[in-house]
Structure 1
Amino acid sequence: MIMDSPKLCFVAFIDLLGFSNMVKQDLEAPNGNERYIEKLYDIHQETLAITKSTLDMELNLIQFSDSVVLATPFIKEKFEDFLKVISRYQHDLFCKGILSRGGIAYGKHFYKDGFMFSLGLIEAYRIESNVARFPRIVVSSDLMELIYPEKIHPETLPVIEENDGQIFLDYLSEINIEVLNSQRDLILRQAQSMNTSIREKYIWLMEYINHKRADIDFGITRFK
């Protein structure tokens, strides 16, 4: 059987944080009280629609359990659009009360009929699992240097460089103040969790929000 060859692609891997609790809350709830399954499916469909109607971009968007993979052919002129799609995806998740983290990389990638075989995915997953750590999607430094060899990227790129040198998607750049206010108490409560892993994620989130919005002051900051 003759198959298409893997193509060089931009690839993003996203992990939905707290997914097991979402599943339990939905599937153990009384009929008709499901929350997260509809939210996630709606965001999935909206992302595909935006990509096709607005950006004219070829995009593979696959979700299995708590893992989301997005990939598009490696076209330098489409890199900024790809980042904006993923940033919008993470933004929409946050607005629905869902935190996520991930990695963005590049490499040979093949997907067809539910079958995926991808070197780009392996690198994106490595970034998510070893580098991202907090509710952020980190862009591969190798990829940034490849696209912007002079280490100067356009101001329209939706990214922030953190103090640890990592570049991540600025998904709260256009966040609604009402959304942030509605989640303030939850964020503060989780930042005091006895679970160290949960606590550090929400402390980071508070610092990120402080950096973006002076009118929601958690009293700490860490960004350049």
Structure 2
Amino acid sequence: MAYAYFAFLDVMGYRYYLKKDKNDGTELFKTKLISSYRVFENIEIATLHHKSISDSIFMSSANDAYNFLCATKQVFLSFLENGLFVRGGIAYNKHFETNHITYSLALTDAYNIESEQSIFPRILIDKAVIQKLQNEAEPPQNNQTLQQIIENKLLINCGSHYQLHILDDTNWDNTFEKARDMYTTYQADIDESPKLTAYHSWFQEYLFNFKPARNRKLRYIKQFELTD
């Protein structure tokens, strides 16, 4: 059976936004989804397959790990551009798919990473993905694809896994603005939920950990305040 890189992505807050549209008598969430999914029209990878069901996005590629990670980064940023967080997992394992059947250990691995370990608005990469690239060259550091991934700063160490790094100096300011706008727009509901507060606080810390030098942006979420 063939192997593939597989990304399982979850649109965070899907039911919340559907309910809000229903209560408000709008289709704002639908508009955001349509705009977010347009990113796939501009991704030029011949081997990339993708589809979505409800709040889940499935992406797979038989090869080309570097461009697959770049494409996944683009998807994350496209949803954020429209005020939506995604969370996900990326794996490398056996994968078989037709128009009617999907038999995929890669999908299962990616889903397990997303549902059990990603937790926050981020995309974790299974260590098997990196091990696969390392095993293709001797010594491992000679693998050109892996070096391309590292040189373009697409990886962050994250425990026994890796995290897809979606920030760079060209997108930091816009990513900050979109994350801040999302928080301020829904702050009343976020403040009522410790879980949602944790999601947004984590993303803020991620942002500021990689803030470009001389950038004067300030944190938009106050972590701890004494009661007056």
TM-score (norm 1): 0.79
Task: Identify if the C-alpha distance between structure 1 residues 191 and 34 changes in structure 2 by more than 3 Å, giving closer, same or farther.
Answer: closer
Q: Structure 1 residue 39 and structure 2 residue 28: aligned?
A: no
Question: Equivalences for 1:56-71 in 2 at 5 Å?
Answer: 57-71=46-60
Q: 2:197 aligns with which of 196, 199, 202?
A: 199
Aligned to 2:176: 180
CA RMSD, 1 decimal? 2.7
Tell me the distance in 2 between the aligned counterparts of 1:182 and 1:120. Answer: 31
Moved more, 91-100 or 167-176: 167-176
Counterpart code for 2:61: T
Question: Equivalences for 1:17-28 in 2 at 5 Å?
Answer: 17-28=12-23
Aligned length: 205
Q: CA offsets, 1:179-214, max 9 Å, x none?
A: 523542653747972422212111110101112324
Tell me the distance in 2 between the aligned counterparts of 1:10 and 1:182. Answer: 29
Aligned to 1:155: 151
Q: Contact conserved, 1:8 with 1:106, CA < 8 A, in 2?
A: yes
Structure 1 unaligned regions, length at least 5: 1-5
Counterpart code for 2:119: R
Q: 1:125 aligns with which of 111, 115, 119?
A: 111
Counterpart code for 1:44: Y
Structure 2 unaligned regions, length at least 5: 222-228
Q: Displacement of 1:101 after TM fit?
A: 0.8
Q: Contact conserved, 1:210 with 1:219, CA < 8 A, in 2?
A: no
SS of structure 1 residue aligned to 2:151: coil
Q: 1:145 aligns with which of 92, 110, 131?
A: 131
Counterpart code for 1:212: F
Aligned to 1:216: 217
Aligned to 2:163: 168
Q: Displacement of 1:45 after TM fit?
A: 3.4
Counterpart code for 1:22: Y
Task: Identify if the C-alpha distance between structure 1 residues 219 and 185 changes in structure 2 by more than 3 Å, giving closer, same or farther.
Answer: closer
Q: Displacement of 1:18 after TM fit?
A: 0.3
Moved more, 104-113 or 84-93: 104-113
Task: Identify if the C-alpha distance between structure 1 residues 219 and 160 changes in structure 2 by more than 3 Å, giving closer, same or farther.
Answer: farther
Q: CA offsets, 1:63-91, max 9 Å, x none?
A: 11111110111x2xx10100000000001
Q: Contact conserved, 1:209 with 1:216, CA < 8 A, in 2?
A: no
Aligned to 2:68: 82
Task: Identify if the C-alpha distance between structure 1 residues 177 and 64 changes in structure 2 by more than 3 Å, giving closer, same or farther.
Answer: same
SS of structure 2 residue aligned to 1:134: coil
Identity %: 23
Task: Identify if the C-alpha distance between structure 1 residues 122 and 84 changes in structure 2 by more than 3 Å, giving closer, same or farther.
Answer: same
Q: CA offsets, 1:132-186, max 9 Å, x none?
A: 1111000111211221353674311522224x45421122324262552354265
Tell me the distance in 1 between the aligned counterparts of 2:17 and 2:198. Answer: 20
